[in-house]
Amino acid sequence: MITLIFSDFPREEVTMTLEEKLLMDVIINPEVIPHNVSYAILASIILIVSALVVRRSMRLVPVGFQNFMETIADIFLKLSEDNIGHRWGKHFFPLLCTLFMFILVCNIMGLIPGFASPTSNINTNAAMAIPVFLATHYYGIRAHGIKYIYHFVGPIRSIVALPLMILMFIIEFIGHLVRPVTLSVRLFGNMLAKHIILAVLAFLAPVIVPTLILALGTLVSFIQAFVFTLLATLYLAGAVEEAH
């Protein structure tokens, strides 16, 4: 629901409320299952069906949709191996590629009339950011054991530098704690802002302006999906690499 307030005079205000009716409301009560949950499930179904379709029509020389999916897979396999390394890159590749595809589908949903973008709800983003946060430290401990603590105390490790080590630990600890918050809020803010701008412009200029914003919205959808995945890649890379 979006409320617009028009004011020409200090004492006179006209308030207009735009309430969206979405396609999923026909089969799912949004008061029981929120839009971000129902459309996140729909995005998951779309990805699963797409994977099954590609699997059934696999060709030695990829064409069409298979070519697109293989291109995405190659990009993120290279991204993960270049940043995390050959050993861990292949291990994290399924997680990173799935994150990108899921976020991209969710973002683009917000551009289609009658659909909602699950990523414009911070709960959906937190549901992706928190597992990334947990995986970061799980694999950090798995790769280094107790020496993982070296990632938090800085490069100088001696009894003389103990105050500096404690200070570095506090700074790093806080920095790691806010990572899921920044991942969630960044994606939430961009998607919510795009959604509000589209709704307002669609009301003010139903044909010309929204078309231009839709093109920009598509670009933003790709960029935000890539940024989230890239940051997750860097967090995982930092956890499994040797501390300096």
Q: Please report whether residue 12 resides in a domain.
A: no
pTM of the model: 0.83
Q: Please report whether residue 69 resides in a domain.
A: yes
Q: Are 122 and 184 in contact (CB under 8 A)?
A: yes
- Whether the CA torsion 205, 211, 213, 214 is positive or negative: it is positive
- pLDDT tens digit at each of 244 positions of the chain: 545 444 444 444 444 444 566 777 778 887 888 888 999 999 999 999 998 988 887 777 777 788 888 888 899 999 999 999 888 989 999 999 999 999 999 999 888 878 888 998 999 999 999 999 999 999 999 988 888 888 888 777 777 778 888 888 899 899 999 999 999 999 999 888 877 777 777 677 666 666 777 788 888 899 999 999 999 999 999 888 865 5
CB-based contacts of 152: which residues, under 8 Å, 6+ apart?
168, 169, 172, 173, 176
For residue 14 the two structure tokens come to 């006209």
Q: What is the count of structural domains for the chain?
A: 1
Q: Please report whether residue 26 resides in a domain.
A: no
pLDDT for position 123:
93
Task: Look up residue 118 and give its amino acid.
Answer: P
What is the rounded distance in angstroms from the CA atom of residue 26 to the CA atom of residue 13?
Answer: 34
Beta pairing class for 2-9 and 12-18: antiparallel
Alpha helices in 160-240 (DSSP H): 162-177, 179-204, 208-240
pLDDT for position 162:
81
pLDDT for position 12:
44
pLDDT for position 244:
53
Q: Please report whether residue 38 resides in a domain.
A: no
What is the rounded distance in angstroms from the CA atom of residue 158 to the CA atom of residue 162?
Answer: 6
Nearest to 238 by CA among 97, 102, 109, 143: 143
Q: Please report whether residue 4 resides in a domain.
A: no
Q: Please report whether residue 228 resides in a domain.
A: yes
Q: Please report whether residue 21 resides in a domain.
A: no
Q: Identify the domain containing residue 119 by its residue range.
A: 44-240
Q: Please report whether residue 226 resides in a domain.
A: yes
pLDDT for position 228:
95
